[in-house]
């Protein structure tokens, strides 16, 4: 890691903090002023710890995945003067809560309908 110069400004700035062969392990995509780094395969604890240290150094964080909500585990690094990591995290959490709530409501409705059908027999 180079000495901190503030938040990175481009996707290339983020890539530049990692080893040259990093794209064998992570996919890099810029979206809404945030660089999203998605693992291509299981990283293992050693690689994960190395990557999260660099991501945190750049002002980013790790976002846990949630299969039900359709969120893949990934790292996020906000770019200087662009996106906002807290807003992205809040959106992901809200999406997860809504999806979980929707599933719970659908299950409750289904159960209630079955109980009503049983009562009317």
Domain boundaries, the chain: 11-119
Edge-to-edge strand ranges of the sheet holding 26-31? 26-31, 34-39, 74-78, 61-63
Contact 37, 75 (CB under 8 A): yes
Residue 100's pLDDT band, with cuts at 50, 70 and 90, is confident
DSSP string, 42-106: --HHHHHHHHHHHHHHTT-EEE--BTTTTB--EEEEEPTTS--HHHHHHHHHHHHHHHHHHHHHH
Give mean pLDDT, residues 46-73. Answer: 85
- The mean pLDDT of the chain is 82
Q: What's the pTM value of the predicted model, to 2 decimals?
A: 0.61
Give mean pLDDT, residues 59-86. Answer: 79
């Amino acid at each position: 890691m180079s000495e901190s110069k503030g938040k990175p400004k481009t996707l290339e700035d983020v890539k530049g903090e990692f080893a040259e062969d990093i794209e064998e392990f992570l996919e890099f995509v810029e979206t809404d002023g945030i660089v999203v780094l998605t693992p291509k395969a299981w990283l293992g604890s050693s690689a994960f710890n190395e990557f999260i240290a660099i991501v945190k150094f750049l002002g980013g964080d790790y976002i846990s995945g949630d299969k039900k909500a359709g969120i893949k585990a990934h790292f996020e690094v906000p770019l200087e003067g662009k996106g906002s990591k807290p807003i992205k995290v809040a959106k992901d959490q809200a999406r997860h809560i809504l999806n979980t709530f929707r599933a719970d409501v659908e299950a409750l409705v289904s159960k209630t309908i079955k109980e009503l059908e049983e009562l009317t027999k």
